Chain A
């Protein structure tokens, strides 16, 4: 069975500072991993995905994530936070269906 653990339920950063959202996964297979973002009252938007190609994955809006098999991690980072990045972020592992983490709410302070 696959599972995802997002280590922080809330993260607060100042605008212009780096963002780190942590995710650890468990999967019997070589997984596909995703980060989705959900803005208030909006649907789930794909930020980036890992599918066993390059371990450093670049996504939209300046986000990237690094797949580390030895640590079973897929942390999401961004060098400089924007006010518009404030949202809920979900780490997702895919086997036969998507398994979502519990989400991390990112707050960006001016």
Chain B
């Protein structure tokens, strides 16, 4: 069964450093998402991406964050200058149909990347 994959599974970085989290969505999916889960807190939406553009983003997704689909398979989340509060589990998800989350859409999640900022 196709699945979303994410690399690395764990990333440790120093405050102020740039990190790139990588995701390979399910191959025939058209909509891509990033979510994060700070330890002990809810899973929060960051951004959705369709047709090489951001379709929606939350207030968390500020100028420090960017997303890219550099080729036909990868979807990346870049954090330019990491802060302590960026430490979290980051989940990538993809869906085949509308990124508006309409009826019938299902988002499939990867296993997550645990980011630790020291």
Contacts and interface: CB of A to CB of B under 8 A. Distances in A.
Interface of A: 32, 34, 36, 42-46, 49, 51-52, 90, 94-103
Contact of A52 (B41, B56, B103, B105): B103
Contacts of A42: 111
25 contacts: A32-B101, A32-B103, A32-B105, A43-B109, A43-B110, A44-B43, A44-B93, A44-B109, A45-B109, A46-B108, A51-B103, A51-B104, A95-B100, A95-B101, A96-B100, A96-B101, A97-B58, A97-B101, A98-B33, A98-B45, A98-B93, A98-B101, A100-B35, A100-B42, A100-B44
Prevailing SS type, chain A contact patch: strand
A95 B33 CA distance: 14
B48 interface: yes
Interface in B32-62: 33, 35, 41-45, 48, 56, 58
A81 B69 CA distance: 42
Contacts of B2: none
B102 interface: yes
B91 interface: yes
A58 to B, nearest CB: 15
Interface residues of B, number: 27
B66 interface: no
Contact of A97 (B4, B33, B108, B112): B33
A8 to B, nearest CB: 15
B106 interface: yes
A98 B103 contact: no
